[in-house]
Amino acid sequence: DSGVTQTPKHLITATGQRVTLRCSPRSGDLSVYWYQQSLDQGLQFLIQYYNGEERAKGNILERFSAQQFPDLHSELNLSSLELGDSALYFCASSRRLWGGGPADTQYFGPGTRLTVL
Amino acid sequence: KNQVEQSPQSLIILEGKNCTLQCNYTVSPFSNLRWYKQDTGRGPVSLTIMTFSENTKSNGRYTATLDADTKQSSLHITASQLSDSASYICVVLSGGQAGTALIFGKGTTLSVSS
């Protein structure tokens, strides 16, 4: 158990719909990251927040948005869903940012499996 | 173009044997290189993080090496166990004025058989 929690574990929805994925980081971790993993694309970095502020952006679509709240939990909002958005969505957290020390180690949650029908 | 290439794509070894996975990268500017282990359907687990100045880093039976001159890294697994069966992903962090970028390799799938 990494200490990072994600809800829900599974989500099945229809094209065009909007969903919200939730992540609670490990106690004391200020940084939250979102990743998407699909069968054909592998693991892709979406976005990162540190202490409530957006710090880095990856291959995140305009239909997707995220935020980190004062209690440090984060939500990833996916809208106008398409079949191709079906994937595993992982959240990770770390104490600091992108350095090379132990405090920069990212701990991944168990993921949310999204299926768009 | 920033790229991370891993080899082999897949590997089958007998329990107790050693193996080495390779990661070649063309990423600039380089910040650090990370190896992750991912069991099927589960979140990745960090094995090592190496910066430019580090040549070797160990985590139990896992030893990562980094040659910043040739832009190559390897992950050596000693005395493999059935639980080592997983995907191993090499990730290079690039950090510069343009911002932070994460470049992922496609992973090596390791199967350890008894």
Instruction: Let me know: does A78 contact A84? Beta carbons within 8 Å.
Output: no
| pLDDT tens sequence across A65-89 | 999 999 999 999 999 999 999 999 9
**The predicted structure's pLDDT at residue B52:** 84
Q: Name the residue among B42, B54, B89 with its Cβ closest to that of A110.
A: B42
| pLDDT tens sequence across B16-34 | 999 999 999 998 888 899 9
**The predicted structure's pLDDT at residue A79:** 97
Distance of alpha carbon A49 from alpha carbon B109, whole angstroms: 30
C-beta atoms of B93 and A105 within 8 A: no
Nearest Cα to B75, choosing from B97, B59, B96?
A: B59
Please identify which residue in the block is written with the tokens 């990661």. B23
Residue B79 pLDDT > 80, yes or no? yes
Nearest CA-CA distance, residue A15 and chain B, Å: 23
B95 pLDDT band, cuts 50/70/90, is: confident
Q: Name the residue among A57, A98, A106 with its Cβ closest to that of B46.
A: A106
Nearest-CA residue of chain B relative to A33? B102
